[in-house]
Amino acid sequence: MDNKVILTMRGISMTFPGVKALDNVDFTLRQGEIHALMGENGAGKSTLIKCLTGINAFEAGEIRVDGIDGPVVNHSTLDAQKKGISTVYQEVNLCPNLSVAENLFIGREPKTKLGTIDWREMTKRSEKIMKDLDMQVDVTQNLEEYSLALQQMIAIARAVDMDCKVLILDEPTSSLDDNEVMKLFTLMRQLKEKGVGIIFVTHFLEQVYEVCDRITVLRNGKLVGEYPIADLPRVKLVAAMMGKDFDDLASIKSEETPKFSDEDILIDAQGLSHKGKIKPFDLKIHKGEVVGLTGLLGSGRSELARVIYGADKNQTGTLQVNGKEEKINAPIDAMKLGMGLLPDDRKAEGIIGDLSVRENIILALQAKRGVFRLLPMSKQVEIADKYIDILQIKTASRETLIKQLSGGNQQKVILARWLATDPDFLILDEPTRGIDVGTKTEIQKLVLQLAGEGKSLIFISSEIEEMLRTCSKMAVLRDGEKVGEIVEDLSQETVMKAIAGGDGNE
Amino acid sequence: MKNKKISSNTILLFITIALFVVMYAAGCIVYSAKGFSHLQTFLNILINNAGLLCVACGMTCVMLTGGIDISVGSLIAMDCMLLSVGMERWHMNAIALCVLVLVIGIVFGLVQGFCIGYLEIQPFIVTMAGMFFGRGMTAVICTDQVSISSNKLFVALANMKIPLPFGAYTSRRGIVQVPYIRISVVIALVVLVVIFLMLRYTKFGRNLYAVGGNETSATMMGLNVKKTKLKAYVLSSFLCSIGGICYCLNTMSGSVQQAKGLEMNAISSAVIGGTLLTGGVGNVIGSFFGVLINGTISTLVKTNGKLLSSWSNIAVAALLCFFIVLQSIFAKIKNSKN
């Protein structure tokens, strides 16, 4: 395909306070191509799109659009639209209370000679647009009468009708079912024929291989590369996204897998799900077992754990704890059953910055006991001191405010909080993120030690090596669905293949 | 043939109209001896509520954007006081005073609209400040109750009866009564028609719906949300000033306590008429019937004669509950369908 280049971005850089969000990123879009922009969460996909559409201002680099002399800087989405760059987001940005026709034409309504809105003309033109795109829609009905997929397609129709050359689809398929996705793809191919350049941002690997011509991969705000789709098989794409050179991966031998019998099952989840977050899954966890949840960021790892813990209430399925069926409506129920969850968002969900280390440690235990059975102070001090000692939490005193501690030590405090409740089952979601190597190793050791004591754990981490070292079983997630389990032959290679999915890897 | 589905909003509007018809018909049957069934009773409802109708039209526009304007009652009091004092004490020209009142309305709306649209302050807070300001200014202008009697033009306008060519009847004493309306009704109905057409056929009208439907989307679709909001509040205050003149033509006086709680009547009329507080849904036709229902209730209570006038408040409260519950049921049904 020697198509004309319609959009080039060169050396785009931009910083958020303290983070280099984009570092010298290039991007090229040609006429009539569907170009996937891939990367894990936080890789800089959205930021790049926002720089292009004028929501964020970039610091260095330049953008050129075909047909416009000189570099282009957009100051708002409207600005970008005028230059032929339109965006359709995951959440449909149309007005549900207006008719389909109005949604297509608002802001540029056809007028009668009197200067009033010409409804008849608007309906006629809307019907033509819908017909051209093979969509069967009564344009006089309110938008809210139609499914999300149709709404999304109407949003695309609006963008296309506004003479857009570059169409950005930002995670458009996240809330659609398979059938609807197919319809959307048909529409995308139609537009491609018409010469529209489409940037497709998604984390669904399968969909990329279905419609895209080219892939650009970002990681940690940097450009990894641009590849024609044929040159980048799935596994290589995953490797590129995660930053592992696939060929150089040293396969680490896992230790001998401990054998578990069916009598030791602690957690037995059958068909649990939460709509829109995680599809129904089964999971068995034995006493003393460490189960790893792996998958790309955003694949539903945390969501799976949250459903078990009751942070997101399960909508289907049953959960057995110690052989007894239990209903978990809220985290407090889970706590009473001896569960604990160390959330991945330490700042928002874990620490309470203005309380002291001691108060943060006893928090979960106190909650479990109930407000009216206050732990005596001497007991609180005893517990706090015990865990500060065991976990070697570096703090000036047990009364220091937790927000003054470093990230790694904050993490240890939260870990102490759950250990203090003496849980049988602990979920650790990214417990080692953002902490130094030494502390990481300590936490990994602790995980193994807890397992040795007969406790069960779910361990979620983005670092596969870390999981290989600690877990005896790994569940693989992709696109909000548990797609398989790896028990034997745990190695970086098998795990990455499973994450990538595709040809008979499950 | 296309099978047209009737949207739930249309159903709500029909329910409002049906309720009015039923209520009015019931009144006609129960109180026919007291003359409720005469056309003039209905016209009196219009005359008494002409000011409220203007205000309700403006309120509907503001509520369509998802906002609210609770300053209108005080603004009316201020307008009436200004008109009364201007004519009686300062001996000003009636026309000039009316123009002044309208200009004040626009300025009042500009300030409120700027705070809400561009400074992005909560509409409730801004218009609450406007409410206190208006009531305060009324007292600053004059604390007495001032009646208008000396301005010939204004008195003539207020007393002018516009006879209707139909519906004449002979009263029991044998006098032929020709039903009439007053100038304030004409003004209010013109406002109603103009706003109805504006909401349907102008860009600004549609923008009001879009902003109320989803503000983020409206911005993304390239609409100027801030300007639309500013205009909505200017329109509300302007219509409120027109309503103030109508109100004054009815009461022919100004006092500090006048039109207290009128903003709530306007809001309840709009809600009963199917306007959602969350914005994006509603129509002035609904609000018109809302005003009529409000007026009918108080007329019914008055005609009864034995009931405490507070019963009309209780009736309005019950109706509000009924409509809000109805709206939420429709919203639930809609959600479960998707």
For residues A435, A438, A444, A448, the Cα torsion angle rounded to the nearest 10 degrees is: -150
Closest CA of chain B from A54, distance in Å: 12
B316 touches chain A (CB under 8 A): no
Q: Which residues of A touch B212 (CB under 8 A)?
A: 97
Distance of alpha carbon B35 from alpha carbon B30, whole angstroms? 10
Residue in chain A nearest B333 by alpha carbon:
A145
Distance of alpha carbon A454 from alpha carbon A471, whole angstroms? 14
Distance of alpha carbon A97 from alpha carbon B209, whole angstroms? 8
Give the 3-state secondary structure percentages of chain A, helix then strand then coil, rounded to 5.
35, 25, 40
Across the interface, whether the CB atoms of B209 and A97 are under 8 A apart is answered yes
Q: If you average pLDDT over residues B110-129, what whole number do you get?
A: 95
Q: Which residues of A touch B197 (CB under 8 A)?
A: 116
Across the interface, whether the CB atoms of A145 and B5 are under 8 A apart is answered yes
Q: Which residues of B touch A106 (CB under 8 A)?
A: 206-207, 210, 221, 223
Closest CA to A33 of A174, A175, A188: A188
Q: Which residues of A touch B222 (CB under 8 A)?
A: 77-78, 81, 107
Higher-confidence residue of A358 and B133: namely: B133
Across the interface, whether the CB atoms of A117 and B212 are under 8 A apart is answered no
- Containing structural domain, residue B61: 39-259
The pLDDT of residue B6 is above 70: no
pLDDT bracket for residue B338 (50, 70, 90) = low
One CATH from 3.40.50.300, 3.40.190.10, 3.30.420.40, 3.40.630.30 for A252-338+425-506: 3.40.50.300
Residue B308 placed within a domain? no
Distance of alpha carbon A348 from alpha carbon A451, whole angstroms? 28
Closest CA of chain B from A321, distance in Å: 33
Residue with tokens 């949250």: A306
Across the interface, whether the CB atoms of B5 and A92 are under 8 A apart is answered no
Residue B54, SS3? helix
Residue B212, SS3? helix
B2 touches chain A (CB under 8 A): yes
Across the interface, whether the CB atoms of B2 and A94 are under 8 A apart is answered no
Closest CA to A34 of A3, A77, A68, A65: A3
Contact between A14 and A56 under an 8 Å Cβ cutoff? The reply is yes
Per-residue pLDDT at B107: 97
Per-residue pLDDT at A199: 93
Residue A247, SS3? helix
Contact between A483 and A495 under an 8 Å Cβ cutoff? The reply is no
Residue from the list A77, A96, A102 with its beta carbon closest to the beta carbon of B220 = A77
Distance of alpha carbon A299 from alpha carbon A303, whole angstroms? 9
Please spell the DSSP secondary structure of A397-417, one letter per residue: -TTSBGGGS-HHHHHHHHHHH
Residue from the list B201, B212, B221 with its beta carbon closest to the beta carbon of A117 = B201
Q: Which residues of A touch B213 (CB under 8 A)?
A: 95-98
> Cα dist. A442→A405, A436, A449, B306 in Å?
17, 10, 10, 84
Scanning A313-436, the segments in alpha helix (DSSP H) are 331-336, 357-369, 377-390, 407-420
Interface test with A, best of B198, B201, B335 (most A CBs within 10 A): B201
Contact between B68 and B127 under an 8 Å Cβ cutoff? The reply is yes
Across the interface, whether the CB atoms of B334 and A96 are under 8 A apart is answered no
pLDDT bracket for residue B337 (50, 70, 90) = low
Q: Which residues of B touch A77 (CB under 8 A)?
A: 219-220, 222
Which has the minimum average pLDDT: A490-504, B13-27, B218-232, B235-249?
A490-504
Closest CA of chain A from B281, distance in Å: 7
Please spell the DSSP secondary structure of A304-316, one letter per residue: HHHHHHTSS---E
Across the interface, whether the CB atoms of A117 and B223 are under 8 A apart is answered no
Across the interface, whether the CB atoms of B210 and A98 are under 8 A apart is answered yes
Residue type, A409: N
Residue type, A139: V
Residue with tokens 């570096």: A394
Distance of alpha carbon A435 from alpha carbon A431, whole angstroms? 9
Give the pairing type, strands A425-429 and A34-38.
Answer: unpaired
Contact between B110 and B278 under an 8 Å Cβ cutoff? The reply is no
B336 touches chain A (CB under 8 A): no
Superfamily of structural domain A5-95+151-248: P-loop containing nucleotide triphosphate hydrolases (3.40.50.300)
pLDDT winner (highest mean) among A2-11, A485-494, B126-135, B249-258: B126-135
Per-residue pLDDT at A233: 83
Cα B21 from chain centroid (whole Å): 20
> Cα dist. A71→A61, A222, A355 in Å?
9, 22, 51
Give the pairing type, strands B162-163 and B180-181.
Answer: antiparallel
For residues A234, A235, A237, A243, the Cα torsion angle rounded to the nearest 10 degrees is: 170
Residue B206 placed within a domain? yes
Closest CA of chain A from B52, distance in Å: 27
Using left for φ > 0, alpha for ψ between -120 and 50, and beta otherwise, residue A434 falls in left
Residue in chain A nearest B6 by alpha carbon:
A141
Across the interface, whether the CB atoms of B7 and A78 are under 8 A apart is answered no
Distance of alpha carbon A124 from alpha carbon A116, whole angstroms? 16
- Measured in Å, how far apart are chain A's first and last C-alpha atoms? 35
> Cα dist. B70→B112, B124, B250 in Å?
11, 7, 22
Distance of alpha carbon A204 from alpha carbon A182, whole angstroms? 14
Q: If you average pLDDT over residues B304-324, what whole number do you get?
A: 85
Q: Looking at chain A, which residues constitute the CATH 3.40.50.300 domain(s)?
A: 5-95+151-248, 252-338+425-506
Which has the minimum average pLDDT: A235-239, B192-196, B248-252?
A235-239
Residue B230 placed within a domain? yes
pLDDT more than 70, % of chain B: 96
φ, ψ of residue A478 to 5 degrees: the values are -145, 130
B214 touches chain A (CB under 8 A): yes
Distance of alpha carbon A365 from alpha carbon B159, whole angstroms? 79
Distance of alpha carbon A346 from alpha carbon A294, whole angstroms? 19
Residue B29 placed within a domain? no
Q: Count chain A–chain B contacts defined by CB atoms under 8 A.
A: 69
pLDDT tens-place string over residues B277-297: 888 889 999 999 999 999 999
Residue type, A61: G
The pTM of the full predicted model, rounded to 2 decimals, is: 0.71
Which stretches of chain A drop beneath a pLDDT of 70? 1-2, 17-19, 41-42, 175, 244-262, 346-349, 434-438, 502-506
The pLDDT of residue B2 is above 90: no
Residue with tokens 């797609």: A483
pLDDT tens-place string over residues B23-51: 999 988 888 877 788 888 899 999 999 99
Residue in chain B nearest A118 by alpha carbon:
B201
pLDDT winner (highest mean) among A53-57, A132-136, B109-113, B152-156: B109-113
Across the interface, whether the CB atoms of B219 and A77 are under 8 A apart is answered yes
Per-residue pLDDT at A2: 54
Across the interface, whether the CB atoms of B281 and A78 are under 8 A apart is answered no
For residues B136, B140, B145, B148, the Cα torsion angle rounded to the nearest 10 degrees is: -110
pLDDT bracket for residue B150 (50, 70, 90) = confident
ipTM metric: 0.82
Distance of alpha carbon B44 from alpha carbon A403, whole angstroms? 69
Q: Which residues of B touch A95 (CB under 8 A)?
A: 209-210, 213-214, 217-218, 221, 280
Closest CA to A303 of A326, A265, A275, A267: A275
**Residue A354 CB-density burial (10 A; 0-12 exposed, 13-18 middle, 19+ buried):** exposed
Residue B92 placed within a domain? yes
Q: Which residues of A touch B338 (CB under 8 A)?
A: 144, 147-148
Residue with tokens 């036709």: B285
* Partner residues linked to A431 by β-bridges: none
Closest CA to B317 of B271, B276, B282, B274: B271
Residue from the list B206, B214, B216 with its beta carbon closest to the beta carbon of A117 = B206
Structural domain count, chain B: 1
Distance of alpha carbon A98 from alpha carbon B281, whole angstroms? 9
Across the interface, whether the CB atoms of A94 and B214 are under 8 A apart is answered yes
Cα B248 from chain centroid (whole Å): 14
Residue type, A180: E
Interface test with A, best of B217, B223, B275 (most A CBs within 10 A): B217
Please spell the DSSP secondary structure of B151-175, one letter per residue: -HHHHHHHH--EE-SS--EE-TTSP
Per-residue pLDDT at A502: 60
Which has the minimum average pLDDT: A249-263, A372-386, B97-111, B210-224?
A249-263
B80 CB-near residues (< 8 Å, 6+ apart): B244, B247, B248, B251, B253, B254, B255, B258, B259
Across the interface, whether the CB atoms of B217 and A78 are under 8 A apart is answered no
Residue from the list B200, B201, B217 with its beta carbon closest to the beta carbon of A94 = B217
Closest CA of chain B from A138, distance in Å: 8
- Residue B327: both structure tokens together: 């709206």
Contact between B62 and B47 under an 8 Å Cβ cutoff? The reply is no
Q: Which residues of B touch A93 (CB under 8 A)?
A: 214, 216-217, 220-221
Compute the Cα dihedral for A139, A140, A143, A145 and give only its sign: negative
The pLDDT of residue B4 is above 70: no
Per-residue pLDDT at B173: 73
The pLDDT of residue B56 is above 90: yes
Per-residue pLDDT at A257: 53
Interface test with A, best of B220, B227, B338 (most A CBs within 10 A): B220
Q: Which residues of B touch A89 (CB under 8 A)?
A: 220
Q: Which residues of A touch B201 (CB under 8 A)?
A: 116-117, 119
B224 touches chain A (CB under 8 A): no
The pLDDT of residue B214 is above 80: yes
Interface test with A, best of B8, B214, B216, B275 (most A CBs within 10 A): B214
Chain A positions touching chain B (beta carbons under 8 Å): 77-78, 81, 87, 89, 92-98, 102-103, 106-107, 109, 116-117, 119, 138, 141-142, 144-145, 147-148, 158
Across the interface, whether the CB atoms of B214 and A96 are under 8 A apart is answered yes
Give the pairing type, strands A197-201 and A166-170.
Answer: parallel
Contact between A420 and A385 under an 8 Å Cβ cutoff? The reply is no
B115 touches chain A (CB under 8 A): no
